[in-house]
Amino acid sequence: MLSVTEALERILKEFRPVEAEAIPLALATGRVLAENVTAGNDLPLFDNSSVDGFALIAGDPAPGSVLTVVDDIRAGDFSRTTVRNGECARIMTGAALPPGADAVIMLEDTDFNELTPGSRAPARVTLTRQVQTGENVRRRGDDLRSGEAVLQAGHRLRAQDIGLLAMLGISNVPVHRRPRLALLSSGNELLAPDQALEPGKIRDANSYVLASLAEQTGTELIRLGVAADDETDVRYRLEQAVRAQADVIVSSAGVSVGAFDYVKTVIEQGGGLEFWKVNMRPGKPLAFGLYQSIPFFGLPGNPVSAFIGFEIFVRPALEKLSGAPFRPRSTRRARLLEEVRSDGRESYLRGIAGFEHGETVVRLTGHQGSGNLLSLVQSNALLILPSGVKCVPANSEVDIWLLT
């Protein structure tokens, strides 16, 4: 039996990052950078005031000095009036420092504390304290110098990254395109949620669970629908994935040893399928292969197993397709509130994590049957038992994954 790590390594070998494209900055949140980004300008762009006050020459005016106000500088202005000894210029936050000035005194440290919008600058102002050179000044290049590296290829762009790109004037961003994921469910028993129930039928959960997970990872979804347990129907749907140039096919059910598991047959005819028994629980049987050269995942049919199989194997593959580097999922330590038993396979159990008396604790959500999606709904964490462990006593420390 393969370990989870070995299975994942073999899977990741089949994936390469998809091509790059340039897209408008406003659409780039969540996308993965395809090139390193270097600053094309300094930040701040120019010496500017970090407060509303008066720009002056530091050091010389003692408390009680009266300065003549020679200019009034708003954010966006660029003053050419040189400030000399005995002079100052009213200045707003973010406005460029006038020539000559090397510090700013806050309004609150003067006798002029007029805060009403549109107020005129006074002719003279009295200082109530002395200022140091550079005080309340944000210097050009203090945050970032032109030419410095800021973001690396492979980085998934967050709100703050988008903001920095905007500050650097990068309006078209080189990112990897979204990977295209073709999603298939299979089984004669499956009905859509809006269809009337019939005896023996159940509602298709996996199309929804797996589509949600895929959307979270930023993929473009190609919906192949529900295939009947019928070779022609399965093949027809998989051909849609080929035609739509899917980067990966994710299917659930129909790959075990059941008499009507046709997905298996069709993949074998159109490429190759490897069955692995992975040393894990739930979701031991995992099918992986290629259909017309497209990587194919055959996840178990039970919704909880399909979810966990996606999280462990499909998500990292999608990350690699997206151009992001592989990073093992971050775990957190938690104190177990009850004894937990397993059969010795690496186990992913549904749990409820909380914070009690200054520490993270975790308990199980109840019965762990792999068709019991409700217990996954009630959980906010997966509790991980390493392989070889059959019993973990209450109060032990365990690893958990927090679920979003």
Binding site for ligand AMP (CB under 6 A): 185, 187, 189-190, 202, 204-207, 252-254, 256, 258, 300-303
Q: Find which of ligand AMP, Mg ion, none residue 44 binds, CB within 5 to 8 Å per kind.
A: none
Reading phi first (left if > 0) and then psi (alpha if -120 to 50, else beta), residue 118 is in left
Per this entry, what is the length of the chain? Answer: 404
Q: How many residues bind Mg ion (CB under 5 A)?
A: 2
Residue 384 contacts Mg ion per CB under 5 A: no
In the bound complex, which residue of the shown chain has the CB atom lying closest to Mg ion?
A: 187
Pick between residue 150 and residue 228 the one whose CB is nearest to ligand AMP: 228
| Cα dihedral 258/261/266/268 (nearest 10) | -30
Cα separation, 3 vs 346, whole angstroms: 8
Q: Find which of Mg ion, ligand AMP, none residue 231 binds, CB within 5 to 8 Å per kind.
A: none
Pick between residue 99 and residue 258 the one whose CB is nearest to ligand AMP: 258
Q: 47 vs 55, 95, 102, 133, 214, CA distance in Å?
A: 11, 8, 9, 13, 46
Q: Find which of Mg ion, ligand AMP, none residue 256 binds, CB within 5 to 8 Å per kind.
A: ligand AMP
Least distance in Å: CB of 384 to ligand AMP?
23
Cα separation, 233 vs 266, whole angstroms: 10
The footprint of Mg ion on residues 266-295 (CB under 5 A) is: none
Least distance in Å: CB of 185 to ligand AMP?
4
Query: Given the rule CB under 5 A, which of 25-33, 152-160, 252-260, 307-315 is the region that contacts Mg ion?
Result: 252-260
Residue 187 contacts Mg ion per CB under 5 A: yes
Least distance in Å: CB of 375 to ligand AMP?
15
Pick between residue 54 and residue 297 the one whose CB is nearest to ligand AMP: 297
Measured on CA atoms in the order 133, 138, 142, 147, is the torsion positive or negative? negative
Pick between residue 185 and residue 375 the one whose CB is nearest to ligand AMP: 185
In the bound complex, which residue of the shown chain has the CB atom lying closest to ligand AMP?
A: 301
| Tokens read off for 195 | 């269809």
The answer to whether the CB of 271 falls within 8 A of the CB of 291 is yes
Query: Given the rule CB under 5 A, which of 52-60, 233-241, 250-258, 285-293 is the region that contacts Mg ion?
Result: 250-258
Q: Find which of ligand AMP, Mg ion, none residue 40 binds, CB within 5 to 8 Å per kind.
A: none
Least distance in Å: CB of 212 to ligand AMP?
13
Least distance in Å: CB of 204 to ligand AMP?
4
DSSP states of 274-305: EEEEBSEES--EEEEEEETTEEEEEE-SSHHH
Residue 253 contacts Mg ion per CB under 5 A: yes
What are the backbone angles phi and psi of residue 19, rounded to the nearest 5°? -65, 170
The answer to whether the CB of 52 falls within 8 A of the CB of 93 is yes
Q: Find which of Mg ion, ligand AMP, none residue 368 binds, CB within 5 to 8 Å per kind.
A: none
Q: 27 vs 33, 88, 157, 178, 350, CA distance in Å?
A: 13, 44, 10, 12, 35
Pick between residue 232 and residue 395 the one whose CB is nearest to ligand AMP: 232
Cα separation, 369 vs 341, whole angstroms: 14
